[in-house]
Structure 1
Amino acid sequence: MDPLILVAGAGVAAGAMNALAGGGSFISLPALIAAGVPPVLANTSSTVALYPGGMASAWAYRDGLAGVADVDLRPLLAVTLLGGVAGAFLLLHTSTRAFDAVLPWLLLVAACALGFGRRIGEWMRARWRVRPAVVLGLQFGLGIYGGYFGGAVGIMMMAVWGLLGSHDIKSMHPPRTLMVTAANTMAVLIFIAAGAVQWRETLVMLIAASLGGYGGALLGKRIPAPLVRAGTLLLTACITVAFFVRAYG
């Protein structure tokens, strides 16, 4: 199969997956690696390719933007941007061998967040309440994760914000989308400036992911949510196992 056809198909699927349930990088990253892009470049290129879809979502949520519980939006945004910068530079200074070793664990963390993030957040809220300063520190760490890899980081953010005692999940969607986009914005700018993007594959995937995101949004109105969730979790589990076998098998 022509690598660009593989990349285009993966882009459509990743865009649709992000629109339906999140986790599109579980498809885009392995596809780029399978197409011959080195793992670190595949990660940077995947981030750039999926970025426009995230930006569009952030724009769509702009009217609902507000702070989270007792934390104002501006400090949240500031620490997320700084974290995104740190994470992007950390990725650029990670060797291919080291990234190959850590990638399965990053996928495992993201898969667990996709599968159990909401339950973990509820369990944590029942036991702890934290001060806003602690949440800002955790947010900085999530910004680093977002700039470095970013899988399911939005779900992780909502779990952390829940420790402030906010139970209105719907109200957290706009700031979550903005923060994820903020971390990715810094990463994208740094990756492009560093020349760390495989442009041919990235542009093909970017266009395909945009089309897939639109189609996924339409499908989301027809496919039952439990079916979408089950399919997403099955796919992420299979890909995570495959990368553990690739790295350690």
Structure 2
Amino acid sequence: MSNDKNPTADQLFFAAVNELAVRLHRQEQPIRLRHASIRSFAYGENFSLKDNEIRFIDKQAERQLHDWKDGYDATEAIRVPRMEWFWEGIFLRDRVNLLIAREKVGKTALVLYLLRSWLSGCPSFMGLELAKLPDRPAILIVGPDQGLADWSWYLSKAGLATETVIDDDTADIRLVPEIKKIWPQDAPVFLDEEGIANIAQHCADHPGALYLRFTRSPQWAAWTQGKRRRLR
């Protein structure tokens, strides 16, 4: 095994490819281009990297760039923000919240009218206190459970979009400026590595944004399909 004064060819290569990966992250290249660039660099240095090795190099570079810790242990005091409510007693602020109910009972309508009240600066909703509106509120919606036509109806009714009728069959919809992005069923974002990186970039562009993910669980869909078959 070599010492630091005489690094091996492997050590020199991995130091160089790590530097490249950090630079690619700093340039905010999409994940596919980063991986292709890492592979091309390796070929140029007469190294062959497997897909999992490229992913590891890419993730380690991201960790280094953002100075992320490698976990926590019992030897240190772990400082965390105090718990705050977004909607008193229901949704926590800056946390993952899960709202589960049967289909067609009003989950989407409830959340959208809650958002409309919050964006309007209302101090409460349905008698429960709301968090203070930030200077630059931002909302990201991942809604693969419905197409744009259904989403536009919900958003218009909740006052989160305006509708201009074009003719008997069509209308133009314009989102309120606080909704920075919506991905409906017919214009989806996929929750693979590239899609998650896309969402993460939007979150970075809008610090403190509310991220809403609407979905129908496979288990619930299978149950309802089975119930329909029995009813027939």
The answer to whether TM tops 0.5 is no
Bigger RCO of structures 1 and 2 (CA < 8 A, at least 6 apart): 1
